[in-house]
Structures are given as C-alpha cells and as structure tokens.
Amino acid sequence: MSEVLSKIPNGMRYYFGAEARRRRAIEETAMSIFAGWSYEEITTPTVDYHSLFEHGMGNVEARRAFRFTDVDGQLLALRPDVTSAAARAAATLLAEQARPLRLCYAASVFRQQPQSHAEWRRESTQIGCELIGENTPVADLELLAVAGEVFERLNLGGSYLITLNDVRFFNGVAADLGLDEDGRERMRRLIDARNAAELELFLASFAAKVEAAEFARLTQLSGKREILNAARQLRSNSESNAALDRLEALWNVIESLKWQDRFEIDLGDVARLDYYTGLTFKIYVRDAGTKVGSGGRYDGLTASFGRTEPAVGFVLDVDALTELPLLRQIDGSDQTDAARRPAGANVAELFRDAVAKRQQGERVILTLQR
Amino acid sequence: MPKLTIAVAKGRLQDEGLALLENAGAGISSAALSSRRLAVEDETGSYRLIFVKPADVPVYVEHGIADCGVVGLDILLESGTDLLQPLTLPLGICRIVVAAPVGVSLSDRGMLRVATKYPRIASAHFGAHGRPVEIIQLSGSVELAPHLGLADCIVDLVETGRTLRDNGLQEIEVIGTSSARLVVNRASYQLKAEAIGALLDALKAALKTNA
C-alpha cells in the first residue's frame, strides 16, 4: 500500500478491542447517570456555521476548528464543542420548554489545532451536561453532584479532585485596580502561570505592597475554607464579594455533605475569563497528566442567540478517562460465557442452530469454512 | 506525601540546579551523582530526579511524567508549552539578543535572514516589530552563520558576550533576559499540592539563604 493510504492524519486514531469497549462503558455509565438526574440527550450537528462557535466559544477557541465553506460561500466548521449548539437550541428550538432545561450529550468534537503537546488529539469525545435557566447555588451544586457521581461510579472515589473558583473574584479585583484590557490580560496570564513573584511586582504599582503580596499568595495555592477567609481580608469590592459569598454558600453545603475531601477552592483558576461568568471548576484524577473535565457558569452565552438566560454546564474528556491507569481494569465486555459454535449438516441447519442459540441469548461464533 | 519527580535540564543549568536542590533538602549522594544513571532518588527519598536534555524538560512536565522541572526561560518560550511557573530561580542568567557582524547595519534591508536555535522567539520578536524575516534554524555554532553568508544576523543566548566578540559579532538588541524557572504540571500542582507546596517553600528558603 502506498504511504498516503496507510497513514492516518496527525491527531487521529483508531480504538478497538478492550480500549473501544472501555470507552463505550465509560460513556454509557455517564449517560445513565445523566438520565438519572433527568437530563435529556441532545445530538447537535457535526457540521455547523463557524460563526456559531465564534459566538459560543470566543474567537480564540473557535479559530482552532477545522473550517471549510458551504456551497453558498458561508464558512462552516466541524464542531469544536457541543455547548454552543446546545445553547442555540435552548434559545430557539427549545425556547418554549419549561425551565430549567436539562440537556446532556456524548459526541465527538474536532480541533484542527490541538490544545497542547500533551493533548495531541484532534478528534476527541466529550460527554457533558448543561443546566439552563437557573442561576442559584443549588443549580451549581447539582452539576457538581452529577459530575461527582460519574467519578464515584467509575470507582475513582478517593482519586479525583474538583477545584472551584468564581471568575467574578478576578474581575472585581481587575476593575478595582482600574486595569485596561492589556493590564487585565497580563494579570490573568501571571495568575494562570502561578507566577506569584512577577504578579507581585506587577501589582506593586497599583496596590499597597502587603495587599499585592497577599493577593499573589492567595491566587498561587488552592485550599479549603481558609482561602475564602483570607480573601475576605483583602480590600473588598462588590463583585469579588459576590464571588466569595457564592463560593462560601457552595462550600457550606459541601462541608455539610462531608464532600470537602474531593473539593478545593482555587482562586487562581482564570483560564477562560472570556467565556465564564461565575462559578468555574476543573476536574483532576490521580495519575492523569492533564485535567479530565471542566465546567462552569456561562450566563452570557444564550444572549447571543436572542434569549438571555443563565446556564451552567460541564464536560468530561472520554479519551483522557479511557487512558487513566486507574480505569484500565474496565473491560466493558459482558461476554462472560464462552462463545458457542453452532453446528448443522448443511448451511440451513447451521443457521437454524445459530438463530436458536441467539434467541437463548447465547454468544455464537460461526465456523464459515465448509 | 507522594513522591515528586523533578526533571533537571542537563548541561548549563545542571550543576547550579542540583546545588540549589541540595540546599532545599533534595540532595543526591555523590555515588548516585557520579554514576551515569539518568534517574536517581534524592537522599530523603521524597524526590526522584531525572536528567534530560533542556528542550525535553517541558515535554516531560507537560505530559505529567515529571511533576516539575528546572529549565531556562529561553527553552520554555521556545517550547510553547502550557506549564505553571510558580518560581523564578536566579540561575543561568543570560540575555537573548540579536547580534550581527561588527560594522554591519541591519536597518537598510527589506528582509533579514536570521540564524538561530530559537526560531519561535526570533519570529515573535521580529513579528512584533513588523519586520519580515527568514528564519534559518540551526542547532549550534550559530555565530558562524553571518560570516559565511548564511544569515544577516543571529538570535542567540549570551552570558558574558565573549563568544560574540571572539567571532566578530556585536549585540544589536536585547530581546529579553532568561533565567531558570521551576515549572510544574497543571494536574500535579492540584493533585500533589502539599508536596509541591513543600518544595516551593524549601526552594524559597534556600534562595533566601544564598542571597
């Protein structure tokens, strides 16, 4: 075979055997949990207008999509996410449905430009949930509980960690300091890289020295309730306070449920400020080099489609989960019985026997050479 | 606490990096040091150190094979990897510069040919100034390129400037300063927060004593 025909494009791959079954099993486990919390499955188009994703994900993320043109010259894309189309459906097709609207999905997404060297795939499978039409701590907590149940059911109970933040904490501080767009982005990058020393230097020209050092320390390390208490000691502004109040309300319930081992508060999670409007969270599992899931509140998204309503959602990366060393034991096969070999004196009898065995629910494997 | 794996860049930074780690309580026995093993445990058993080429440090850390690494900012910028940089280390300090043969002016050229080991840094620098360039990627002896006519100038790392002078080159422009960074994998940072916090504190204390 020529090289061109045998080769597959970068970032694409096959799944088969135990690995394919494991993926299917993880997906089915998650989807059954979503159904258990009354989330309705939605399937969105694989090919959609590129402008949808520009509105839905922001220009930077949307630029990573595979793009091509329709017969009328409109720019199309292979979907780089599902949330954009789900939000559009909620604002249009499902506009008349009762709120809150609960949607879930399992779908491939495509990115021409991979996220990083470690996340080299250009096709990956996402499973996720969206809860649309409600902005309360209860709605936030529902998503965290659903995500948590997925990890519990996959027997990852003691091995996963969910970090929580509220982007309004950062936004409030940036506004309070009077930062322009460039300054805001510079501060965001320094926090995102956990570069406390340079952050402190950067802040020194805006804030009091002690304040700057304390803010740098707070955004460098995650922790439990003490992070919230320490953040309250900083110079306050109404937006950051609203963030801390909301996180505290969430944390109170987390403590009452005795879930605090699985959660951390991480005021330094500022990865996608252009997208999220409140709570954000990231999910990590022991022995995985990258996060396996993320989510948050995006109350601004559906406004792009003509109907403003709050929404919160999360997405899990099935490929990252499939590769977890801790999940290698999942085989996904229910073929505990050995395969039976149907027999018969002629072809008709062979198939009569095979069909009869299948009706008994037995697994068969035909011998075809006769 | 879980054991941390630290990737240390071989070469320029290695000795200084190991000395700092030793002061921070992650010392390696001289027997292990003198052996040719590329993965050794420190004497306390809390850390595993792996020695890899500088350019490979970000790769090991980004994949989470190593939890952290000690590597120069030059390598980090060039790799374009997505890593946390919680600590700047005052080791291996040098400048990243544009240099050209003495007496040659670069301003009257429509396009520059730039020889470098750092194509990403070079192209970002000239791109920011709207200057069209052809980047010629080399893996060493970059100082030769302008004299042999392969390039008009070079972008390279300079510590004392001696190599430049000895090869008839002069600094035209400083792009930036590079020093070593402690880099950390994003997932390790959360999942092994306690161990990484302890390492950060120990390194900060060691740096304070040195200074």
Does residue A345 carry a pLDDT above 70? yes
What does the angle CA A37 – CA A39 – CA A42 come to, to the nearest 5 degrees? Answer: 160
pLDDT band of residue A334 (cuts 50, 70, 90) is low
Q: Across the interface, do A116 and B86 touch by the CB < 8 Å criterion? A: no
Taking the C-alpha atoms of residue B94 and residue B111, their distance in angstroms, rounded to an integer, is 27
pLDDT at B83: 95
Domain that residue B55 falls in:
4-93+178-210
Counted domains in chain B: 2
* CATH domain A160-274 topology: BirA Bifunctional Protein; domain 2 (3.30.930)
Assess whether pLDDT exceeds 80 at residue A335: no
Section A102-117 average pLDDT: 90
Whether chain A has a CB inside 8 Å of the CB on B37: the answer is no
Contact B62 A116 (CB under 8 A): yes
Residues of B in contact with A222 (CB under 8 A): 190, 193
Shared domain check, B54 and B88:
yes
User: In angstroms, rounded to a whole number, what is the distance separating the alpha carbons of residues B153 and B102?
Assistant: 11
Closest chain A CA to residue B67: A289
Q: Which of A290, A291, A292, A321 to mutate to test the interface with B (most CBs of B within 10 A)?
A: A290
The model's confidence at residue B26, banded by pLDDT at 50, 70 and 90, is: confident
* Whether residue B81 sits in one domain with residue B10: yes
Question: B77 and B100: one domain?
Answer: no
List, as own/partner pairs, every contact residues A173-177 make where C-beta atoms lie below 8 angstroms and the sequence separation is at least 24, other chains included. Answer: A173/A215, A173/A234, A173/A237, A173/A240, A175/A237, A175/A239, A176/A235, A176/A237, A176/A240, A177/A203, A177/A206, A177/A207
Whether residue A261 lies within 8 A of chain B, CB to CB, comes out as: no
B196 and B126 part of one domain:
no
Domain ranges of chain A: 30-153+286-334, 160-274, 335-370
Residue B80 pLDDT level (bands cut at 50, 70, 90): confident
Interchain CB contact of A18 with B (< 8 Å): no
To the nearest whole number, what is the mean pLDDT of chain A?
92
- Chain B residues within an 8 Å CB radius of A113: none
- pLDDT, mean of residues A117-128: 89
Cis peptide before A100 (omega within 30 of 0): yes
What pLDDT, on a 0 to 100 scale, did the predictor assign at position A195?
93
| pLDDT surpasses 70 at B180 | yes
Sequence-distant (≥ 6) Cβ neighbours of residue B150 within 8 angstroms: B113, B115, B136, B144
Residue B30: pLDDT band with limits 50, 70, 90: confident
Architecture category of domain A30-153+286-334 in CATH: 2-Layer Sandwich (3.30)
Per-residue model confidence (pLDDT) at position A336: 62
Write the pLDDT tens digit of every residue in B92-151.
999 999 999 998 888 888 899 999 999 999 999 999 999 999 999 999 999 999 999 999
Q: What CATH number does residue B171 fall under?
A: 3.40.190.10
> In this predicted model, which residue has the larger pLDDT, B84 or B26?
B84
Chain A residues touching B190 at Cβ < 8 A = 161, 163, 222, 264, 266, 282, 284
- Within this chain, domains A30-153+286-334 and A160-274 share the same CATH topology: yes
Are A290 and B186 an interchain contact pair (Cβ–Cβ within 8 Å)?
yes
**A112 touches B at CB < 8 Å:** no
Give yes or no for a contact between A302 and A87, defined as CB atoms under 8 angstroms apart: yes
Residues of B in contact with A290 (CB under 8 A): 64, 186-187
How much is the pLDDT for A330? 81
| Residue B33 confidence (pLDDT) | 79
Same domain assignment for residues B77 and B139: no
Tell me whether A193 touches chain B (CB under 8 Å). Answer: yes
* B181-190: average pLDDT: 96
Give percent of chain A with pLDDT exceeding 90: 76
CB contacts < 8 A, A to B, total: 58
Q: With CB atoms and an 8 Å threshold, state whether B64 touches A288.
A: yes
Model pLDDT, residue A1: 62
Select the residue from A160, A199, A221 to test the B interface by mutation, using most B Cβ atoms within 10 A. A221
Instruction: Please say if the pLDDT value at position A332 is more than 80.
Output: no
Written as one letter, the residue type at A210 is: V
Look at residues B181, B199, B206, B180 and name the one whose alpha carbon lies nearest to residue B12: B180
pLDDT in tens, A168-206: 999 999 999 999 999 999 999 999 999 998 999 999 888
Say which DSSP state A239 is in: H
Looking at the structure, do residues B75 and B27 belong to the same domain, yes or no? yes
Confidence label for A370 from pLDDT (cuts 50, 70 and 90): low
Say whether both B106 and B133 belong to one domain. yes
Tell me the average pLDDT across A290-316.
Answer: 92
**Both structure tokens of A301:** 């998204």
Residue by residue, DSSP assigns B118-163 as -HHHHHHHHHHTT--EEEEE-SS-GGGHHHHTS-SEEEEEESSSHH
- Indicate if B72 and B27 belong to the same structural domain: yes
CA distance B38 to A7: 34
Say if residue B24 is in the same domain as residue B124. Answer: no
- Report pLDDT digits (tens) over A33-86: 999 999 999 999 999 999 999 999 988 889 999 999 999 999 999 999 999 999
